[in-house]
């Protein structure tokens, strides 16, 4: 069940050092019993799982909200179908409005599924969406949708254009999602496999998984001075008209498509599988009912229920308070911080963490529960930072917190010597820069002027193949003088030592002495 302002968030891989990356989500389709105002109803829903399906959460309908971090370009969903094999219902996942390669499945001349599916009884299937677009979307089963969607196999996907930015140039300070759905209990029991979806007469009308009950607490929407983003989603088969009493909002997007010219209204039209995004600035504190103007305001034919929520707006509703954090990790060692992680010293109720800026000298994967991993760049030692903010389902923290990480130096890495080639004329000396292409993972091969001292270079062994060539070690390399009248190819080897005393591998220097007069 959803809780007003609490949006379930999937753990995401949040990498900050690259311009774009992928999010992996593991979902399990299963059967469960939903208690609606004291009535148990058999439902199908999605559950969140960790990688490899080692741990699986409870199934719900709507399913977990998939929150894609800004900047991610790829979404991978790994699905397992745990519906009983006796149902014969294969399950798939589609996201209308996001781009994916579809593979329709046919039963004779009819389309049974919009794309490939996972067989019941534990079958699996994987799905990928590329070139993700910001917005609010519905994900649902694309197999036998006339039955499976009504049985509860749906959820919401949201992606911001940037922190606190629903779409480009559409900013908000707090957000809330209102997810509309319906239940016709006779379609679910006693056997959904033989129910007839055409005989559709829903008796339960839900917002975020439950109908209104007298005495329900208000849903905190945000502060009076904020732009409040309301994401409307309808997974029911009926059209609904959420209507705000006592105010107006700007309709800014439909099905993930931002409007060029937002419309000021006090209601939105929500047909089946529709999403609408509105920005609401209430202007005054108070309680604002949002009800379905089509009057689906009953619960099992009893008035005083259905699709009604009361949004509460406070005068400067306090948001989460975040506090800076500090950690330390050895060089070339991944820092793994378990939950509550960065949120452990923050203040707020049911808060989640969102990455704002990544680290400069490593890669950060920050999870909503505050846990994170930090992988320092190879060989790096020194300070590094990243920033995050907190969200309580309605309000973001007023400031960002800085996480400072000290990467301590450990055993120094040896430098890397790279083979060199040179050419000179018969009886002519030549300077060979040996260290120009050499490097050190720790950055301590060269001095502050970018030079390698002669004392750091060693020949191993002495030159061979020319009998009497001379090699004089100087800063950054050697002066090579071939034997008198020698022409051909000569070789020698060298090592280089960094400023910490670590010796490199041996590199080979090949010198071609060509036949030209030096007069």
| 434 and 508 assigned to the same domain | yes
Residue 1 lies in a domain: no
Residue 48 lies in a domain: yes
| 35 and 152 assigned to the same domain | yes
Last residue of a domain, one of 377, 408, 439: 408
| 304 and 345 assigned to the same domain | no
Task: Name residue 420's beta-bridge partners.
Answer: 509
For the chain, the average pLDDT equals 87
Residue 350 lies in a domain: yes
| 55 and 153 assigned to the same domain | yes
Q: Are 228 and 282 in contact (CB under 8 A)?
A: yes
| Residue range of the domain that includes 393 | 325-408
| 173 and 141 assigned to the same domain | no
Please state, as a whole number, how many other Cβ atoms lie within 10 Å of the Cβ of residue 507: 20
Task: Name residue 404's beta-bridge partners.
Answer: 326, 385
Nearest-angstrom CA–CA distance, 90 and 141: 9
Residue 11 lies in a domain: no
Nearest-angstrom CA–CA distance, 220 and 480: 79
Q: Looking up tokens 């039963």, which residue turns up?
A: 107
Residue 311 lies in a domain: yes
Which residues have CB under 8 Å from 119's CB, separation 6+? 81, 85, 90
Lowest mean pLDDT among 108-112, 134-138, 504-508: 108-112
Residue 10 lies in a domain: no
Query: In this predicted model, which residue has the larger pLDDT, 385 or 440?
Result: 385
CATH of the domain at 171: 2.60.40.420
| 174 and 133 assigned to the same domain | no
Task: Name residue 143's beta-bridge partners.
Answer: 113
Give the rounded percent of residues in the chain with a pLDDT score beyond 90.
61
Residue 131 has what DSSP assignment?
S
Please state, as a whole number, how many other Cβ atoms lie within 10 Å of the Cβ of residue 13: 15
Task: Name residue 40's beta-bridge partners.
Answer: 35
Q: Are 1 and 64 in contact (CB under 8 A)?
A: no
Torsion angle in degrees (nearest 10) through CA of 499, 502, 504, 505: 170
Is the peptide bond prior to 5 cis by the omega test (within 30 degrees of 0)? no
The most confident of 13-27, 175-189, 228-242, by mean pLDDT: 228-242
When divided into structural domains, the chain yields a total of 4
Nearest to 63 by CA among 39, 29, 24: 29
Residue 86 has what DSSP assignment?
G
| 503 and 427 assigned to the same domain | yes
The whole-number pLDDT of residue 136 equals 98
| 36 and 153 assigned to the same domain | yes
CATH of the domain at 471: 2.60.40.10
Interior angle at CA 214, CA 211 and CA 219, nearest 5: 70
| 52 and 143 assigned to the same domain | yes
| 307 and 174 assigned to the same domain | yes
Q: Is the pLDDT of residue 14 over 70?
A: no
Residue 304 lies in a domain: yes
| 503 and 360 assigned to the same domain | no
Predicted structure pTM score: 0.62
Nearest-angstrom CA–CA distance, 361 and 42: 51
pLDDT grade for 195, boundaries at 50, 70 and 90? low
Residue 197 lies in a domain: no
Nearest-angstrom CA–CA distance, 493 and 474: 15
Cβ-based burial of 77 (10 A; exposed 0-12, middle 13-18, buried ≥19): buried
Length of the chain counted residue by residue: 519
| 331 and 291 assigned to the same domain | no
Nearest to 44 by CA among 176, 212, 181: 181
Lowest mean pLDDT among 200-204, 236-240, 410-414, 438-442: 410-414
Q: Is the pLDDT of residue 196 over 70?
A: no
pLDDT grade for 65, boundaries at 50, 70 and 90? very high
Nearest-angstrom CA–CA distance, 140 and 146: 11
Mean pLDDT in residue range 111-130: 93
Nearest-angstrom CA–CA distance, 436 and 420: 10
């Amino acid at each position: 069940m959803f809780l007003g302002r609490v949006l379930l968030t999937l753990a995401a891989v949040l990498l900050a050092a690259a311009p774009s990356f992928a999010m992996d989500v593991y979902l399990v389709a299963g059967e469960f019993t939903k208690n609606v105002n004291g009535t148990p109803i058999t439902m199908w829903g999605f559950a969140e799982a960790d990688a490899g399906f080692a741990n699986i959460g409870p199934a719900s309908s709507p399913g977990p909200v998939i929150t894609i971090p800004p900047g991610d370009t790829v979404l991978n969903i790994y699905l397992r179908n745990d519906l009983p094999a006796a149902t014969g219902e294969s399950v798939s996942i589609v996201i209308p409005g996001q781009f994916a390669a579809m593979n329709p499945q046919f039963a004779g001349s009819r389309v049974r599924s919009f794309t490939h599916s996972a067989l019941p009884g534990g079958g699996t299937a994987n799905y990928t969406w590329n070139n993700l677009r910001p917005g609010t979307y519905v994900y649902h089963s694309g197999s036998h949708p006339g039955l499976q969607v009504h049985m509860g196999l749906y959820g919401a996907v949201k992606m911001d254009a940037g922190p606190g930015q629903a779409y480009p140039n559409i900013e908000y300070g707090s957000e809330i999602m209102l997810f509309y759905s319906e239940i016709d209990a006779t379609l679910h029991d006693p056997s959904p496999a033989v129910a007839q979806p055409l005989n559709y007469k829903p008796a339960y009308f839900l917002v975020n998984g439950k109908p209104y009950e007298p005495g329900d607490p208000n849903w905190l929407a945000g502060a009076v001075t904020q732009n409040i983003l309301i994401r409307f989603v309808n997974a029911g088969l009926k059209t609904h008209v959420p209507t705000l009493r006592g105010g107006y909002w700007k309709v800014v997007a439909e099905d993930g498509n931002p409007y060029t010219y937002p419309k000021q209204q006090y209601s939105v039209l929500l047909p089946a599988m529709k999403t609408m995004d509105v920005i609401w600035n209430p202007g005054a504190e108070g309680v604002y009912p949002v009800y379905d103007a089509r009057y689906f305001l009953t619960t099992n034919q009893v008035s005083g229920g259905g699709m009604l929520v009361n949004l509460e707006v406070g005068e400067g509703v306090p948001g989460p308070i975040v506090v800076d954090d500090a950690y330390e990790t050895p060089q070339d060692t991944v820092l793994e911080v378990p939950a509550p992680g960065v949120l452990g010293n923050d203040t707020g109720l049911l808060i989640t963490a969102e990455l704002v800026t990544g680290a400069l000298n490593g890669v950060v994967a920050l999870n909503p529960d505050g846990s994170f991993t930090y992988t320092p760049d190879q060989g790096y030692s020194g300070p590094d930072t990243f920033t995050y903010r907190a969200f309580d389902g309605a309000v973001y923290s007023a400031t960002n917190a800085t996480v400072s990480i000290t990467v301590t130096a450990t055993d120094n890495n040896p430098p890397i010597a790279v083979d060199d080639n040179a050419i000179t004329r018969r009886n002519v000396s030549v300077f060979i820069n040996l260290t120009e292409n050499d490097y050190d993972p720790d950055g301590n091969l060269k001095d502050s002027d970018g030079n390698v001292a002669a004392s750091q270079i060693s020949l191993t062994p002495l030159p061979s193949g020319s009998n009497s060539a001379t090699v004089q070690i100087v800063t950054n390399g050697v002066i090579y003088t071939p034997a008198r009248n020698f022409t051909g190819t000569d070789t020698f080897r060298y090592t280089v030592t960094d400023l910490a005393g670590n010796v490199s591998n041996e590199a080979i220097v090949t010198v071609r002495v060509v036949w030209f007069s030096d007069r």
